[in-house]
């Protein structure tokens, strides 16, 4: 694919996968105290960790595919939704360390979406402004 650097797009998806993998491991490791803090069973958070780990694997798979722009666009959309939901959760709970952690995670996930948007904005020609 001419234009947007394949290396940049693949690196973005791999970095996103790494972040999700670390988040999954942390959620698994701290499922019990997080469950107590959220007032939910730890097994539910283990399920969230499993889904997050599967998402990380899907991102790694997407990074190897030939439809990189489509993958980046889909992942960007998912990241925008995830960042919004995580931020909403952080804003609707009492102000404490956990709410700050959730807001920080929302910003980090949003940063991945911004990176993906930047790469997509470069267009097939590799220049800013898309395919003009």
Give the tens place of pLDDT for each residue, 83-126: 999 999 999 999 999 999 999 999 999 999 999 999 999 876 55
The closest of 123, 114, 81, 91 to 15, measured between CA atoms, is 114
Is the pLDDT assigned to residue 2 strictly greater than 60? no
- Return d(Cα 125, Cα 99) in angstroms, integer: 42
Residue 124's pLDDT is: 67
Average pLDDT over residues 18-33: 98
Direct distance between the N- and C-terminal alpha carbons of the chain, in angstroms, rounded to an integer: 16
């Amino acid at each position: 694919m001419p234009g947007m650097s394949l290396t940049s797009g693949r690196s973005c998806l791999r970095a996103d996968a790494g972040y999700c993998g670390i988040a999954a491991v942390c959620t698994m490791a701290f499922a019990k105290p997080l469950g107590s803090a959220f007032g939910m069973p730890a097994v539910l958070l283990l399920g969230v960790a499993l889904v997050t780990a599967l998402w990380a694997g899907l991102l790694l798979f997407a990074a190897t595919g030939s439809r990189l722009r489509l993958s980046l666009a889909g992942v960007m959309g998912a990241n925008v939704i995830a960042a919004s939901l995580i931020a909403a959760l952080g804003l609707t709970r009492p102000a404490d360390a956990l709410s700050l952690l959730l807001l920080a995670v929302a910003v980090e996930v949003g940063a991945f979406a911004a990176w993906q948007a930047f790469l997509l904005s470069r267009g097939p020609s590799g220049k800013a402004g898309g395919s003009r």
